Chain A
């Protein structure tokens, strides 16, 4: 169970000072360990914001992942001369990323509730079947387990796969649904301007450590999703989503 407590004013001031030091180390010296530390320090903020959007047909962990992208963008785009704390600056970025994610999926508008529920139960079903069968289940087996049809399972997987490249590169023209504060720091550019490159390497370093590790296990070690899921303690479906999302994020970073 996560615990939270309110910081005293002196603790908050100390935390802001520490953030400043880390931001300077990252932006002025290129110290990526400072960046990692900043991400870790502010993940509780992301979790707190993500919880506001729970219960909309998507797992909290998925929403946290999306929010973490907003946090990383905020850290990367923070200007040292700003007279604002990183937490204040990051909040609208995180919320904006989460809102955009839901908006791009059209989750609450277009996806029937039954499909949302099917998606929500799919992850457990896949892991349950994998354990029972000793292999990754077929779509038909997942459908039978969930008393559904293969077509519905595929549809639910698609709405749940979520992290299409769209959500990470929607242009600023589509931000009308966001509060002005929530668009601070947004510099996404149109995909049309993207230069085609096949080396994703330069963007790898911008991913959180866990995602980098998952990509390394999948593409360098050649491990199947089931083994990766075991190693990192996530569901197979979540590993699949993280791989897809990470590759899309990296691709968009190169745009």
Chain B
């Protein structure tokens, strides 16, 4: 059973977003994700990083399964991200980070870390063909 781990540490600065997107794309491609699935995962990570501010750095790990990837992003110090993801569901028609993640990944979760920081887990599964 395939379970490989790829880890990356990157500055949160937007200057590195394109690099992160390329890496996420490469990882998704290695699992033979479809174009829209690759795009979804890139968008999920990109939006998460966009909400996390621009200072400091963040770790991103990718755990590759046979046809899925579990992405873990953190530590993130913006409590608003956890609040958005753990709080009440958005009202109908409301668009926030939670609504976006619900649309583009199969599941997500929030883990508490030290110093009030959090890690966000995203799981994306390749559709059967």
Binding site for B on A (CB under 8 A): 126, 135-140, 142, 150-151, 154-155, 157-158, 161, 164-166, 191-192, 194, 196-201, 204, 215-216, 218-220, 222, 224-226, 236, 240, 243-244, 247-248, 250-251
Asked if B21 is an interface residue, CB under 8 A from chain A, the answer is: yes
Is the Cβ of B93 less than 8 Å from the Cβ of A158? no
Partner of B100, one of A135, A219, A225: A219
When distances are taken between beta carbons in the complex, the residues of chain A under 8 Å from B95 are 199-201, 204, 215, 219-220, 250
Partner of A201, one of B14, B28, B94: B94
When distances are taken between beta carbons in the complex, the residues of chain A under 8 Å from B63 are none
Task: Give the contacts of B62-105 with A (CB-CB under 8 A).
Answer: 78, 80-81, 83-84, 92-100, 102-103
Prevailing SS type, chain B contact patch: helix
Asked if B8 is an interface residue, CB under 8 A from chain A, the answer is: no
Bound complex: CA A220 to CA B91 (Å): 10
When distances are taken between beta carbons in the complex, the residues of chain A under 8 Å from B81 are 196, 198
Bound complex: CA A30 to CA B43 (Å): 33
Asked if B123 is an interface residue, CB under 8 A from chain A, the answer is: no
Give the 5 A-B CB pairs with smallest separation, nearest first.
A198-B84, A136-B34, A136-B36, A139-B29, A198-B97
Is the Cβ of B43 less than 8 Å from the Cβ of A243? yes
Binding site for A on B (CB under 8 A): 14, 17-18, 21-22, 25-26, 28-29, 32-39, 43, 46-47, 50-55, 78, 80-81, 83-84, 92-100, 102-103, 127, 129
When distances are taken between beta carbons in the complex, the residues of chain B under 8 Å from A247 are 43, 47, 50, 100
Given contacts A198-B51, A198-B83, contact A191 B103 (CB under 8 A): no
| Most chain A CB neighbours (cut-off 10 Å) among B80, B83, B99 | B99
When distances are taken between beta carbons in the complex, the residues of chain B under 8 Å from A199 are 84, 94-96
Query: Chain A residue with minimal CB distance to B97?
Result: A198
Query: Chain A residue with minimal CB distance to B33?
Result: A138
Is the Cβ of B14 less than 8 Å from the Cβ of A138? no
Total contacts A-B at CB 8 Å: 110
Query: Chain A residue with minimal CB distance to B43?
Result: A244
What distance in Å separates the Cβ of B100 from its nearest Cβ neighbour in chain A? 6
Given contacts A158-B22, A165-B17, A165-B50, contact A196 B32 (CB under 8 A): no
What distance in Å separates the Cβ of B124 from its nearest Cβ neighbour in chain A? 14
| Most chain B CB neighbours (cut-off 10 Å) among A138, A166, A222 | A138
Prevailing SS type, chain A contact patch: helix
Q: Can you list 11 residue pairs at the A/B interface with Cβ under 8 Å?
A: A136-B34, A139-B25, A191-B54, A196-B53, A204-B95, A215-B95, A216-B93, A218-B103, A222-B103, A225-B39, A247-B43
Is the Cβ of B18 less than 8 Å from the Cβ of A164? yes
Query: Chain A residue with minimal CB distance to B103?
Result: A219
Is the Cβ of B103 less than 8 Å from the Cβ of A136? no
Query: Chain A residue with minimal CB distance to B84?
Result: A198
Given contacts A200-B95, A215-B95, contact A136 B37 (CB under 8 A): yes
What distance in Å separates the Cβ of A169 from its nearest Cβ neighbour in chain B? 9
Is the Cβ of B35 less than 8 Å from the Cβ of A142? yes
When distances are taken between beta carbons in the complex, the residues of chain A under 8 Å from B21 are 158, 161
Given contacts A198-B80, A251-B50, contact A164 B32 (CB under 8 A): no
Given contacts A142-B35, A196-B78, contact A158 B18 (CB under 8 A): yes
Given contacts A139-B29, A161-B21, contact A197 B80 (CB under 8 A): yes
